[in-house]
Amino acid sequence: MAPGPAELAVRPGELMKVGIVCPYDLDKPGGVQQLCLELGERLRDAGDDAVVVGPGRSESGDGTVRVGSSVGIKANRSVAPVTLAPGVWARVKAALSDVDVVHIHEPLVPLVGWAALSMNKPAVVTLHADAPGWVGKAYRVFPGRALRRPVLTAVSSVASGSIPSSWGEVRIIPNAIDVAAYQVEVERVPGRIAFLGRDEPRKGLDIALEAFVLIRSEHPGAELVVMGADRTGPVPPGVEFRGFVRTPDKHRILASSSIYVAPNTGGESFGIVLAEAMAAGCAVVASDLSAFRAVVGDDAVLVPVGDSNALARAVSELLSDPARVERLGNAGTARVDRFDWPHVLGQYRQAYADAIADG
């Protein structure tokens, strides 16, 4: 039998030291931070040596080096926690001095990525964001040759759109999850709807709440569990705000929910929360965004962006059809196998090997 991606990672003589460069504060929640930290863990488990370098003030250790405090910069209708602290440049270069290859996420985000770009090392670059127009212009101005012939990757075709063709071919390597971790043995609650996201406009929490009022009028037993956000003041009946949730709690809540809603309004390049919800067996109702379509295919219900009435109708119809909810949940669980870590890790290790060979 041919070896799979995980087996390829531990062949004698092929192990590497990888420097994973995260532009965003490692002490704050976020999809890019989560991917970088988990990628470092997976590489170490496979036998490689890996260090994750990024902003943060917590003590470094466990394969991470934190290089300075972060500040919030508005970008992509969100707030990005990046570092502009003095001394970052030298600390980044010191942390990466002995690696075989640097893996730079969002390379033009200051200052961590800039410092990594300046190093004479084989490089893999990963684009995550559905970038605004100015980012595309920045990439066109920035000379791709300055990256020392990097291997270019993006988490989706949407994320790759900012890279000028002159830089070379872009490999699509999706975000990854531990699929098995979401398949928790808990009772699924028929009327439970889940939402996960920060309380910022592009995540669509207000749209979800408006839709839920309509859903509740038709299905009085429905409940909406909101993870990742918290609000004070009156809460609509049936809504529970959980705020920040630990990873095991997130797994249990998703596994106990029948439907997951993602009424995001834009700025998404992948939709890792959709993959998480599908892995947990939820039926997914999401905004009809290009990045979301690439994740869910035909195994979810897509509604017009920003339309709370359409969201309410779609969820209400599912709550009235438990058999369809189950079919969507099963189809989604089968689909997300392509995002499981063994598959994605093998693709990144191949990118590292190619970068080293080209360097």
Handedness of CA 149, 339, 197, 20 (dihedral sign): negative
CA-based torsion, 225, 230, 231, 234: positive or negative: positive
Going by C-alpha positions, the residue among 270, 319, 337 that lies closest to residue 126 is 270
How many residues are present in the chain? 359
Residue pLDDT, tens place only, 197-222: 999 899 999 999 999 999 999 999 99
DSSP per-residue codes, 17-46:
EEEEE-SS-TTS--HHHHHHHHHHHHHHHT
Q: Report the alpha-carbon distance of residue 152 to residue 168 in Å, rounded.
A: 8
pLDDT tens-digit map of 89-102: 999 999 999 999 99
Give me 170's structure tokens: 């872009």
Alpha carbons 56 and 83: distance in angstroms, whole number: 8
Q: Phi-psi bin for 357: left (phi > 0), alpha (psi -120 to 50), beta?
A: alpha
What's the pTM value of the predicted model, to 2 decimals? 0.85
What's the pLDDT tens digit per position in 142-166? 555 455 578 999 999 888 887 777 7
CA dist., res. 182 & res. 159, Å (int): 26
Model pLDDT, residue 60: 79
CA 353 to chain centre: 24
List the beta strands (DSSP E) in the chain. 17-21, 49-54, 64-66, 71-75, 78-82, 101-105, 123-127, 151-154, 170-172, 189-196, 223-227, 239-243, 257-262, 283-287, 301-303
Amino acid at 299: D
Distance of CA 73 to the CA centre of its chain: 19
Lowest mean pLDDT among 62-76, 87-101, 104-118: 62-76
